Chains A and B, each alone.
Chain A
């Protein structure tokens, strides 16, 4: 557990205890409401997690390395952005992976595109997002994120 997760737990638990003491009924009522929302999301989230496991079994992080290091940087950027949109690998795996690529002399642009779409664009979480926020919202956010991820990587290519 990183420090932020721990802090989140501590703060929330203190707030929760305070809430229970101050108004037990209100707290329990709110939890009931929250349970309804979480209950409908949970099967979706479980499905997403199993799907990620499945995708990573067929596209392991080592294989992603090959896509990042393509010879044509522009094409590699777009492909990396696409691969990043599909997969959802944790940051502590992604950063060392990308770091070693850049150290080996790979172009910065595909690396940035991959890092940005990895977390901001979610193909596997799209259905859940659509259900909770509507098709228009999910589509706009994911498409814009993809476009801006490319823009950010091009700018990074100029700066770094």
Chain B
């Protein structure tokens, strides 16, 4: 219990404030709680679908695809893809965090993540409709143009300030040249073992045929060949440390 409180100091601190407010001013406490109920409902509607979505992206969208669409070299097309992704989304900005984190892990660039988060926050399509209703089309269009321009510039500036190493990832990042195979993802197709027989061989794991490392580190002279294996892997189960971008 004590550990639980320690790990969630923020939540328990806020709950403590509520307790205090209820003692001092019952009425205000009820107002605050009433406000919160609305936000809790909103969260319950959006978070389960975000949870499923992050899992599905993780399982099915190959790393190469994300890198190509949203990675460092995706250029202006990548920016517009990010803008579109953020605009068609639903839910408040905290719902965007898990999705953005998953995309980042799969090779999206920092700049494009800023574009997705910002677009998700300010220029969602349902919000634009609301804006037209209350402030008129001219107001909405002008604000949209300025905001989109600002978001692109922000993405560019942030990508210059923040490098991918500045972002914390839960899993240990692998060392330079280290080769890892995700046992859970591997489907045992044996393409890698055929392409680089010096590095990969097929084995059994819990009755399932999977690839395992023959060598844990890549030799520089074999770089091309090992990277070819990685790129050929149909489920992107192979990772190579540092040289990812090469």
Contacts and interface: CB of A to CB of B under 8 A. Distances in A.
Chain B contact residues, majority secondary structure: helix
B174 interface: no
A16 B55 CA distance: 9
Given A54-B21, A141-B117, A141-B158, A98 B134 contact: yes
Interface of B: 7-8, 10-11, 13-15, 17-18, 21, 28-29, 31-40, 42-43, 45-47, 49-56, 58-60, 88-94, 97-98, 100-102, 104, 110, 113-114, 117-118, 121-122, 124-127, 130-131, 133-135, 138-139, 142-143, 146-147, 150, 153-154, 157-158, 161-162, 166-168, 170, 184-185
Contacts of B50: 38
A41 B98 contact: yes
Top 7 nearest A-B pairs (CB, nearest first) are A53-B36, A99-B134, A30-B59, A53-B35, A57-B32, A34-B55, A47-B11
Given A46-B11, A57-B35, A134 B55 contact: no
Contacts of B162: 134, 136-137, 140
A54 B117 CA distance: 25
Contacts of A15: 56, 60
Contacts of B102: 34, 37
A3 B143 CA distance: 23
Contacts of B91: 5
A26 B59 contact: yes
A79 interface: no
B66 to A, nearest CB: 15
Contact of B39 (A36, A43, A52): A52
A90 B42 contact: yes
Interface residues of A, number: 80
A12 B56 contact: yes
Nearest to A51: B14
B121 A120 contact: yes
B134 A95 contact: yes
Given A3-B126, A50-B14, A148-B150, A120 B90 contact: no
A34 B54 contact: yes
Nearest to A58: B28
Contact of A54 (B14, B88, B98): B14
Contacts of A98: 134-135
B17 A99 contact: no
Interface of A is mostly: helix
A80 to B, nearest CB: 14
Nearest to A2: B126
16 contacts: A13-B52, A31-B52, A31-B55, A34-B58, A34-B102, A43-B8, A47-B8, A49-B36, A116-B147, A119-B93, A134-B162, A137-B110, A141-B117, A145-B118, A155-B146, A160-B139
A137 B118 CA distance: 13
Nearest to A6: B90
B215 to A, nearest CB: 26
Contacts of A83: none
A120 to B, nearest CB: 5
A50 B18 contact: yes
Nearest to A13: B52
Given A30-B59, A116-B122, A156-B142, A37 B114 contact: no
A56 to B, nearest CB: 5
A119 to B, nearest CB: 4
Nearest to A119: B121
A156 B146 contact: yes
Contacts of B122: 116, 119-120
Contacts of A133: 97, 100-101, 104, 113, 167-168
Contacts of A125: 93-94
A8 B90 contact: yes
